[in-house]
Chain A
């Protein structure tokens, strides 16, 4: 693994960390779900860098699109904003 991909990997992991913290503290649940789908986007890049392209495909299809839409359907059926 070259130095460039290690730097990319660290950047992607920091992005995952920031997006996860944002998803936890955000009161608007739609924004939190979008942040958690961004986690999946960065995670699929991490899987690709770590030479697991089939896991990256699964993560991209299921983590970004399908689980996000199921969360959004649930939120639209309940409440959008989290109370204190």
Chain B
């Protein structure tokens, strides 16, 4: 009986999939309309040469605000679940400092860390010109902090600083959105109200580049906070009186 239900459901699903995709000939242009608008509008009126950034930050900017909020909630939830164990063992943990990584790893991390941070900052500052943007740049910066966290056991990340960076970046995003509501010509949330500049220059795109820099700081701080929380909880789990 259960097999019969599964087969019936699969047949229904297959019928709908086939009837959806068989109406389009293979390789034919199915979607039209809004993509031409994006491809035309983002270089001409917004002066943003990276169309993906123009869609993510400007045309679909409210969705990006939602994504950033989801990431913020995930980071906050993880931090609040692990908060008690983290404060108990944070900072000067003898177990954590007892395990020293090799000098090869430490020297390599010291050389590579500024380069990784520079690459991440480059990716989100040039988000409106080259591929990438705030999310990618933030993830790259978090990778650099991960490298330094696993090679230097005494490296201590102040979570208050991370919280302030997150708060200022998120507030910047929302304030720019409200600024578009007040100062822009069409009075929409996240509408551009700064001068657009010239295409393919660093100072172009109006609010798009500022929003992506804020998103980069926010994502980098959040992922770094998550990684530091998880790495600190590892030693707490090894503690015999904890289990």
Contact = CB atoms under 8 A, between A and B. Distances in A.
Are these two chains actual partners, yes or no? yes
Interface of A: 53-54, 57-58, 61-62, 65-66, 69-70, 73, 76-77
B227 A66 contact: yes
15 contacts: A53-B132, A54-B131, A57-B123, A57-B131, A57-B136, A58-B135, A61-B143, A65-B146, A66-B139, A66-B143, A66-B223, A66-B227, A69-B146, A69-B150, A77-B234
B136 A61 contact: yes
B223 A58 contact: no
Q: Which 10 A-B pairs have the closest CB atoms?
A: A61-B139, A53-B131, A54-B131, A57-B136, A65-B143, A57-B132, A77-B237, A61-B140, A54-B132, A73-B230
Given A54-B131, A61-B142, A76-B234, 14 more contacts: A54-B52, A54-B132, A54-B136, A57-B123, A57-B131, A58-B136, A61-B136, A61-B143, A66-B139, A66-B142, A66-B146, A66-B223, A69-B227, A77-B237
A62 B139 contact: yes
Nearest to B234: A73
* SS class, residues of chain B in contact with chain A: helix
* Category for how many chain B residues contact A: 10 to 19
A48 B123 CA distance: 16
A22 B234 CA distance: 27
B133 interface: yes
B231 interface: yes
Contacts of A73: 230-231, 234
